[in-house]
Structure 1
């Protein structure tokens, strides 16, 4: 089966590399009326849409490839710095495996449970404990024997929201099994939820 053709406006994406929170893309449009046949941009996407920022165009392919390479290097360095923070904080960050958590079955309810994401479904730079441990906050896939598969999550290290499939879940952790950083993240999340609930009741 042919790969799906990706488009950014009138440009067809011919090269891309996703690292960290953004993807760097290189596109081509040989029919461009202004002669700007090539473009490079950052792409930020989720399961609903993609947004392209900092778009640069050129009629010179080697020039746009140079920009593409520079942007990849810059994004890689930014990601390296961000992902090094746990190490500087003294946080053990080795990937969690099956032996570190309790496996789940189709009958398990994951709503409100602390889940561990399989390392191999994460991009290479994110295969570490601080990126695996999430609080499952809902989604059809969180319910037992559901036809849906999406699980909505909150990252206990960064507090960011994310979405995974139920098959991406390696297992669950009890609160007493959590490392200290994850316990703190869970407390902070619950405090925010309580504060939001109190403000909504006023």
Structure 2
């Protein structure tokens, strides 16, 4: 059974490496005067579809491959910088650190642990595991899977799936950096609500 080719426009993707927040891809279209193409693919959109950016085409294979390698190195450097912001203990959190979860109880307002296993290796880090859940059918114990919340380490709000939630973190397992981040996030939420009331 032949494997389906991955295409971007007329270019067949022959190499791809996903590092950090972007994928670097290398494509070939032998019918084009510039048969070798390198671009980034970004997946940060509502459909999580590949969004090509910063495409470069070349008629020189080695030149195009050098661009590909340089971009991969650039993504490695950027991801190292990102992780450098989190100098705390890198021990990945597991079910042992959690209050057992049946997937049905309401976790809104709770700090939960996201399973690091499905994530790519560079993101298997506690900085990306502790989330303050604040909504979604999956968080309220409804029929859906969506869990919305704020990542304690990065302050970014995003969506996770309920099946990725290992459980609520045990109070004694909550790291000091996470306690501090939680206080900051709750303070910001309080100030935002206050501003909204004043604007009315």
Fold shared by both chains (TM-score > 0.5): yes
- Once the two structures are superposed, what CA deviation does each residue of 1:159-190 show, in whole Å capped at 9, x if it has no partner? 01222211111111255642121112212222
For residue 40 of structure 1, the aligned residue among 38, 41, 44 is 38
Runs of 5+ unmatched residues, structure 2: none
Distance 1:95 1:59, change over 3 A: same
The two structures have a TM-score, normalised by structure 1, of 0.85
Matches within 5 A, 1:32-181: 32=32, 35-46=33-44, 47-48=46-47, 49-87=49-87, 91-146=88-143, 148-174=144-170, 177-181=173-177
Instruction: Specify every segment of 5 or more residues in structure 1 that has no aligned partner in the other structure, as ranges.
Output: none
Secondary structure in 1 matching 2:168: strand
The separation in 2 between residues aligned to 1:188 and 1:101, in whole angstroms, is 22
Tell me the TM-score normalised to structure 2 length.
0.86
How many aligned positions are there? 196
Classify 1:60/1:157 alpha carbon distance in 2 versus 1 (closer, same or farther; 3 Å): same
Q: Check the 8 A contact 2:90/2:126 in 1, yes or no.
A: yes
Contact conserved, 2:97 with 2:173, CA < 8 A, in 1? no
Q: 2:178 aligns with which of 178, 182, 200?
A: 182
- Give how far 1:110 is off: 2.0
1:65–1:102 Cα change, 3 Å: same
Partner SS, residue 119 of structure 1: coil
